[in-house]
Structure 1
Amino acid sequence: MLALRSLAFNLCFYLATTVIATVGLPALASRRGVLRVARLWGRVSLWLLHHVAGTEVEFRGRENIPPGPLLVAAKHQSALETLALCVVFPEFAYVLKRELLAIPLLGWFFSRGGMVAIDRSKGTRAMSLMNASAARAVAEGAQLIVFPEGTRRAPGAPPAYKQGLSHLYVALGVPCQPVALNTGLFWSRNSLTRRPGKAVIEFLPPIAPGLPRTEFQTLVQDRIEAASNALMGRGLSDLAGAGYEVAPEEAPAATNRS
C-alpha cells in the first residue's frame, strides 16, 4: 500500500507541476505573476501529498513571523519544505545555485521570480555578488529564504552550516526567521517513498539584527538543531507506532544530537 500511494502521489505531483508551469507561462511577465503561480503549485502539491500519500504538513509558530523583509534560515531535509515555504511567505525569494536557472521551463520561473542566484564560478567574488543581489531583494520587501547547510541533509545528520548565512545576516540588517522541521522522515531526499503521517515545519522566534556574526551563527544553528531534533524524535515515534520502517541511512542518524 505504501509503495502504491507513493507511486500515485509522484505521478500526480509531476503531472501537476508540468501542467501548472505550462499554463502559468504568461505569468513570466512579472515577478508578482511568478509568485502567484508558485503559491498555487505549493498549495496543489500539499493537497496531493495529504490526500494521495496521506502525509499532512503542519505549520507551527506562524505567529512568530514578523512582517516585512526577512532573512529566513530553514533546515533542509527534503524537497517538501521548498514547495511548502512558498505558501507561507507572500514575497519569498530563494537563494539558489545559478545552475538551476538553466533548467528548461522551471529555470525561467526562477529567473523571472527574482531568486538570488549564487555563481560559484566567480570564486571569492561570489559572496559579495550574492550579498548585493540579496540586498536588492530585501529592499523590495522580500522574505529571503536560505538553506544554511547548502544542500539537503538526512534527518539527524551532523549539522554542516555554512558561513554564507551569517554574512547575509550582517549585510542585510533584517530579522532572521529560523525554521525547524522533520520533513525528511516523510519525504526522503534519495527515495520516491512518501510516508504517511504528520510532517511539521516550525517557525521559531525571530533573531533581531545587530548580533556579532559568530554569535549569530552559533545561536541560529543551536536553535534550529534543537527544535528539529525534538520534532524528529516525535516523528520517529509516530512512524514506529504506525508500523513504518525508517530507511537505513536515517535510522542511526536520527539519534544523533550533536
Structure 2
Amino acid sequence: MNILDKIVARKRQEVAERKEVTTVAALERSPRFGRQPLSLKAALKDADKTGIIAEFKRKSPSKGMINAEATVRRVTADYCRYGAAGLSVLTDEHFFSGALADLEAARDNELPILRKDFVIDDYQVVEAKAFGADVILLIAECLSAAEVNRLAQLARSLDMEVLLEMHSEAQLDKISPAVSLVGINNRDLTTFTVDLARSVALAGKLPADMPRIAESGIDDVAVVRHLRQAGFNGFLMGEYFMKQPDPGAAFRDFAARLKEEPGI
C-alpha cells in the first residue's frame, strides 16, 4: 500500500467509529450547522487580499512534525490580519496531528475556511458544516467521478463550496458541475514527491470559468507570480509558514514581499 492507500484505509475506520459516537442528526443540531458559509471564490477575487489560502498544519507523513508549538487561534488570526484570502485547517489526527477542534478554533476569524482532510463519506461533509467549515476538499486520487459528484452535490446542498484537488490530466474527467474550485497539487499523494511544473502543465486544460488553485511546494514570491501569470487565482500554502518559529510573522513578511514585488 502507498501512503494514500494507508490514509484512506485508516479514514474509513475513523469515520465508522465517529458515526457510532455522533449521529448525523446530532451534527445537524449543532450550533454552527445553521450558519451561512463564506465564499472562498469571492475571497480570491478580493484585490485587498493576497490570494493565499494559508494553512495550519502541525505535521505531515513526509516531513514528520513541522510545528508542535504553534496554536490555531494565534496563527489563523495572524493569517487573517495580514491578508490571507482564506484558511485551510488540517483535521486528520493520525497522519497530520490535526483535529476538528482546530476547525472550531479557526472559526473565530471572518475568513472562508477549508476543511483539509481525506473526505470519502457523506458523514464527513455534514461534519464539516457542523464544525464551521465553508469549503470541503475532495481529492480526485482517492475518489471515483461518481463519488466526487455525490459528495460535491451534498456539500452544495448545504451551501458549502467544493475544492477538487487533482494532480494529473487523467483526473480531469472527475470535475463535477457541483465543484466550485479546482486545485492542482504539485505533490504526488502516492509518493509525496513535489513537482512545481505540475500546476502550470495542467492549468490550460482546466475549465476556463473555474477558479484555479496551486497547492504544495510554494515558498517564493517569484513562484506565486509565475503561477498567477499561468492563470492561477489562489495559492494554498502551509508548510512554508508553519516550519518557521512564528508562522504568522512568516506570513506577514511573505505578504509584504508580494506587495513589493513588481508584476504581482
**TM class, shorter-chain normalised?**
0.3 to 0.5
Q: Going by fraction, where is helix more abundant, 1 or 2? A: 1
What is the TM-score with the length of structure 1 in the denominator? 0.33
What is the TM-score with the length of structure 2 in the denominator? 0.33
Larger radius of gyration: 1
